[in-house]
Structure 1
Amino acid sequence: MSALTWLVTGTNTSVGKTWVGCELLREVARQRSRAVVRGIKPLESGLSEVAKKQWDATLLGQASTPEIGTQDALGKGYLAPLSPLHAAQAVGEMPDFNGVCRFVVGHQLESHFLLVEGAGGIAVPITPHRTYGDLARALKCPVIIVAKDELGVINSTVLTAHYLASQKIPLAAIILNRIGRVTPGDHNLQYLAECYPGKVFLADHMPDVVAHLLAELDA
């Protein structure tokens, strides 16, 4: 078994990557009912034992089919609410990039579909010289961008997509997430859809998102 894999990144922190990732996992499982579908978080920071039920890795594991525990979905966790590199350095450690790759590959061998959630954006450092962009290239997996639909999202999304293109990393989809508020109309959606035809979706249209992703992978 070798999983079809996506890396989920954000245009920033707090854009709803984990919620979108969990919905993606559940919808993939609905559309491919016999598949082993997993979500993992290789590195997570800002952890609190009190809020363990809300850890990204915990939620991704619960949304997997069959469900996996936090200890399986999480590669390495840190307390400080910093980038993985700086959270590790705060406790005198250094993230192991090759170890992160091995963690992901281990899950790829046990899954049909695998969603790997990053931390923050695509250029967030894992080590002093390796980013999540480097992880996507090492894994040879396409990237899903999650963006909060608000003023400024066009700039942050285009910059993220441009970074992917400059690094020759495939863009799988852009998902605009409307988080609990009135949105500024469909201007952002329409503009980005013109820039990236067929790849821009709203988060509440998850069946369409997954149908697109699976069609691309099956092509």
Structure 2
Amino acid sequence: MSERIFITGIGTGVGKTLTAACITEALEADYWKPVQTGLMEGTDTDTVVSLLSNNVSVCHPEAWRLQAPASPHLAARLENTSIDTNRILELSGQYQPANRPLVMEGAGGLMVPVNETVFTLDLILALKARVVVVAQNYLGSINHALLTARMLQHTGVPVIGWVFSGAEHSNEEDIIRWSGYPKIGHIPLTEQVDKAFVKQQAQLLTTPLHTLLA
């Protein structure tokens, strides 16, 4: 199963990296975050590496590592550089395993600018990836979730489904019904995010992922 799975969120800080780790573990996929900003806070790649248990997954190095905790285009601008999305496309071909998925993690949501002309949604289309949308319950999250779904529907991006994270969502079923996208799973709050937790959640996600990817 050679797939490109792009992890996006309805906003920032909704649980994309933990979700990416769980899906990478569930599918024994490779992981790649093309652009990392906010290096002072550590990297998402390092976090995923620390959470995986299997001996198959490879976590590939970022194409851009930028200091400022900002959108990729702004973080690059502050360092007098620019992100070349053609390089991201080139590397995605090099990193794609022959018989396993490549899980890619974006920054923030769909309309985060990658550079001065390309948004994350444009990059997903160019990568020909299928999307997992991560949602978290907060005031305004229904609006953000359905705006995300509407953009994906409008552009025809193939969507695998929703992963809900954090506290239980009273609005999960509404979001599923209104968007028409299925639920892959729910990653709950925990006091200890470690390999054991990720492995447990990965086991719960494995069957629905394989079903939806078939």
Correspondence for 2:212 among 205, 213, 216: 216
The answer for the alignment partner of 1:28 in structure 2 is: 27
Task: Tell me how many residue pairs correspond in the alignment.
Answer: 199
Work out the CA distance in 1 between the residues paired with 2:101 and 2:150: 26
Q: Report the structure, 1 or 2, having the larger strand content.
A: 1
The answer to whether residue 187 in structure 2 is matched with residue 203 in structure 1 is yes
1:3, CA displacement in angstroms?
Answer: 2.8
Contact 1:3 1:109 in 2 (8 A): yes
Stretches of structure 2 lacking an aligned partner (at least 5 in a row)? 189-200
Work out the CA distance in 1 between the residues paired with 2:89 and 2:30: 16
Report the TM-score, using the length of structure 2 for normalisation: 0.84
Stretches of structure 1 lacking an aligned partner (at least 5 in a row)? 30-36
**Closer, same or farther: CA 47–159 of 1 in aligned 2, 3 Å:** same
Q: Runs of 4+ in structure 1 displaced over 3 angstroms?
A: 204-210
Contact 1:40 1:60 in 2 (8 A): no
Work out the CA distance in 2 between the residues paired with 1:126 and 1:89: 11
The answer for the alignment partner of 1:66 in structure 2 is: 56
1:187, CA displacement in angstroms?
Answer: 2.4
Identical residues among aligned pairs (%): 25
The answer for the alignment partner of 1:4 in structure 2 is: 3
1:21, CA displacement in angstroms?
Answer: 0.8
Report the AA paired with residue 212 of structure 2: E
Report the AA paired with residue 13 of structure 2: S
The answer for the alignment partner of 1:102 in structure 2 is: 90
**Closer, same or farther: CA 97–107 of 1 in aligned 2, 3 Å:** same
The answer for the alignment partner of 2:170 in structure 1 is: 187
1:213, CA displacement in angstroms?
Answer: 2.7
**Closer, same or farther: CA 214–174 of 1 in aligned 2, 3 Å:** same
Report the TM-score, using the length of structure 1 for normalisation: 0.82
Contact 1:44 1:74 in 2 (8 A): yes
Work out the CA distance in 2 between the residues paired with 1:149 and 1:215: 26
1:109, CA displacement in angstroms?
Answer: 4.2
